[in-house]
Amino acid sequence: MSKNIKIGVVGVGHLGKYHVKHYSKIDDVELVGIYDIDNLKSNQIAEQYGIRSFVNIDEMIKYIDAVSIVTPTKMHYDIAKVFLNEKKHVLIEKPITRTVNEADELIEIAKKNNVLIQVGHIERFNPALYPLKDLELNPRYIEIQRLAPYTSRGTDVPVVLDLMIHDIDLALSLVGSTVNRIQANGVSIMTNSIDIANARISFKNGAIANITSSRIAKDKVRKIKIFQQDLYITIDFSASITEIYRAMDADQNDDKALMSAPMETNGKQRQIFYEKPMIKSKDALRYELLNFLESIQSYKTPIVDGVAGRNALEIAIKIQNKIIEGKNGY
C-alpha cells in the first residue's frame, strides 16, 4: 500500500477490539480513532492505543477515509448509511444488515458514491481454504457443520444469522450457482429464537449443500466436506487441517500426494492419491482487514463485497423463514 489510509472503528466490544489491535499493527494505515456508545470503554481503549475516542460518528467522519463497523446487527444499516453518504469505504461485520432491502440500499449508495463495501465473513480468509485455490472446483455435494458452546454473545440474532450465515456464504462462493430450493428445520433450546438449525440448499446447477449449525454444543466444531467427480476434500477449520483425496487414471501421478492406493472402477484401473497440504498459521481477521485496505488502495472488488454479503443474508433469511413457517421448498 502506497498511501496511508485513515481508519476508524465503530464498536469496540468483543470483536471490535481485535479490529483496533490489528489496524494498529498494519503499515501504511493510520488508526485515527474509535467510537462506542460505552464512553468509558471507548476512552480506555483509545488511551491504550494512543488514538482518539470520538463523541459521535459525525465527528469521526471528518477525519477518516474508511471505517470498520463492529456493532450489533440492528445498528449496521443506520451507521453504514451515514458513512457511505459521506463517501467513506466501509467494512461491516456480518450479517451486512437485518433485511435484504437495507443491504440493497447500502450497495446502491456505495455504487453512487464510488466507495467500497466489504462484509466480515471471516471464514473466507481461513488459511485452511488456501489449498483450494489450486484446484478446479465443481462441487456436487457440500456438507458443513458449525457447532459452538452456548454464550450470551450473539444471541440477539438466531443461529442462522449468527453462525450458519458463514457457511451459507462459503457454499455460495464454492458452488457459484443460483439457489433453486431450500429445505430447513430448527429448534429453540436456550433462547427465544432458533438455536439449532439444519438447511439443505439445492442449486440450479444440481449441487447440494447440507449445513448444520448449533450454539448449544459441548465442543466447537467447524468442518466442511466437499465432494465432486474424482475429488473429495475435508477441512477442519478449527484445527487448520485440509485433506484432499483425488481419483486418477493408473498412468497419472500426483506429485503432491503423501500416499496412493490402487482401485478399480467399472473395470478400469485407477489410483486414489492423498494430499495433506501444510497450512501456514495466519490470522484470518488480519488478512480480512488487509484485503479491505488493499481493495481501497487499488479500488478493486473485495473478496467478500456488499453483493456477496447481501446474497448470503437473503438465503439466511429464507432459511430462517422456512424454519419459522415449518415448511419446506423454495
Of 128-137, 150-159, 292-301, where does mean pLDDT reach its minimum? Answer: 150-159
Q: What is the pLDDT of residue 237?
A: 94
pLDDT in tens, 207-259: 999 999 999 998 999 999 999 999 999 999 999 999 999 888 776 776 666 66
- DSSP secondary-structure letter at 136? -
| Cα angle: 44, vertex 73, 198; to 5 degrees | 125
Higher pLDDT, 327 or 165: 165
Mean pLDDT, range 164-172, rounded to an integer: 98
Cβ neighbours of residue 140 under 8 Å, at least 6 residues apart?
206, 207, 208, 227, 228, 229
What does residue 182 show for φ and ψ, rounded to 5 degrees?
A: -130, 130
What would you report as the CA-atom Rg of the chain, rounded to the nearest whole angstrom? 21
Q: What is the pLDDT of residue 261?
A: 73
Q: What is the edge-to-edge ordering of all strands in the sheet holding 5-10?
A: 52-53, 29-35, 5-10, 66-69, 89-93, 117-120
Does residue 157 have a pLDDT over 80? no
Residue-range domains of the chain with CATH: 5-121+284-305 (3.40.50.720), 124-282+315-325 (3.30.360.10)
Mean pLDDT, range 147-158, rounded to an integer: 79
Mean pLDDT, range 312-321, rounded to an integer: 97
Mean residue pLDDT of the chain comes to 93
Under the banding of pLDDT at 50, 70 and 90, the label for residue 152 is: confident
Of 50, 16, 19, nearest to 36 (Cα)? 16
pLDDT in tens, 26-82: 998 999 999 999 999 999 999 999 999 999 999 999 999 999 999 999 999 999 999
Q: What is the pLDDT of residue 192?
A: 84
Run of H or E including 255: none
Of 92-96, 146-150, 314-318, where does mean pLDDT reach its minimum? Answer: 146-150
Under the banding of pLDDT at 50, 70 and 90, the label for residue 153 is: low
CB distance 22 to 16 below 8 Å: no
Q: What is the pLDDT of residue 175?
A: 98
**Mutual angle of helices 76-85 and 100-113, in 10-degree steps:** 10
Cell numbers linked to 275: 494430499
Question: Which three-class secondary structure state does DSSP give residue 266?
Answer: coil
Cell numbers linked to 156: 440477539
Using left for φ > 0, alpha for ψ between -120 and 50, and beta otherwise, residue 257 falls in beta
Q: What is the pLDDT of residue 1?
A: 46
Q: In the Cβ-directed half-sphere of 41, how many Cα atoms lie within 13 Å?
A: 12
Higher pLDDT, 85 or 247: 85
Virtual torsion, Cα 313, 164, 194, 217, nearest 10 deg:
-160
pTM: predicted TM-score of the whole model, two decimal places: 0.92
pLDDT in tens, 264-287: 677 677 888 899 999 988 899 999
Give burial (CB, 10 Å; 0-12/13-18/19+) of 283. Answer: middle
Cell numbers linked to 96: 451486512
CB distance 97 to 108 below 8 Å: no
